[in-house]
Homo-oligomer: A and B are copies of this chain.
Amino acid sequence: MPKTTAEVRTFFDAHWTVRKYKSFEMPPDHLDTILSATQRAPTDATAQMYSFIRLRDSQLREKFGSLTGNPHFATASLSFLVCADVHRLELFLKSAGHELAAIPTIANHFGIGDAVMAAQNMLVASEMLGYRGCWIGGVLNALDEIVSLTKLPQGVVPFAGLTIGVADEPAVHRPRIARSLIVHEDTYREPSESEINESVALMASITARGNWAETLARYFAKDGTMEKREGSLRAILKKQLKS
């Protein structure tokens, strides 16, 4: 039965990211439903180029928490490392006497795509059941250690972490930039300076200090955190995908 627009809107409007969880052991049928929804995600060329490392060992969970600055790795009901994976694709090809072509750029492109489609299904299914979650880009702060700790073979690249559990913090509705900047018609439309300024103002409430452009700068401008991640991500792609 299709849902009404009001039901769909209410569901997605209620999405918010949680980093503080109650101690809660997820019932097996919830976990089973979430993993089933994960695998129903679309996948490029039917290839399912992704793997999830579920973190269960308490020391490993704490290690992930400290390496990435996200202690909820240790306290969530479920903690995952979400990976692009063409290693298993190689095994499927080998079973019929074929070799994977030299396609590191394609492997990264569709591997991330498949992994994110599946993990976003996982998060949406979890939210349908009343849980909340958090994507964790911070795994890029410690790629070498994380690849080594989880023993990822060549062909497997971490995309991000994902934790899921019962929220122990109040709901917040976080703003988004104007839709007119996101959706273009037929060709890319360059936004005006005032549109840019309006969306920066729209996003102010998401920041601690009230200036969203400065928040973005701490990540993406020169000397920001992403600059430090660029070299290590490039090195991991070289090592894991021969990129």
Known contacts A100-B221, A221-B101; A193 and B153 CB within 8 A of each other: no
Q: Which one of B96, B105, B116 lies within 8 Å of A217 (CB-CB)?
A: B96
User: Which chain A residues in 118-144 approach chain B with CB under 8 Å?
Assistant: 118, 120-121, 123-125, 128-130, 135, 137, 140
Counted per complex, copies of this chain come to: 2
Q: CB distance B8 to A153 under 8 Å?
A: no
Q: CB distance B51 to A230 under 8 Å?
A: no
Instruction: Give the size of the chain A interface in residues (CB under 8 angstroms).
Output: 122
The answer to whether the Cβ of A67 comes within 8 Å of any Cβ in the partner chain is no
The answer to whether the Cβ of A242 comes within 8 Å of any Cβ in the partner chain is no
**CB neighbours of A216 from chain B (8 A):** 45-47, 89, 92-93, 98
User: Which chain A residues in 199-216 approach chain B with CB under 8 Å?
Assistant: 199-200, 203, 206, 211-216
- Chain B: minimal CB distance from A123 (Å): 7
* 19 extra A-B contacts, CB within 8 A, seeds A2-B129, A12-B121, A120-B121: A9-B36, A13-B40, A15-B40, A45-B137, A46-B215, A52-B183, A92-B212, A95-B197, A95-B200, A96-B214, A101-B221, A103-B220, A105-B233, A106-B140, A109-B159, A113-B159, A116-B120, A120-B120, A120-B124
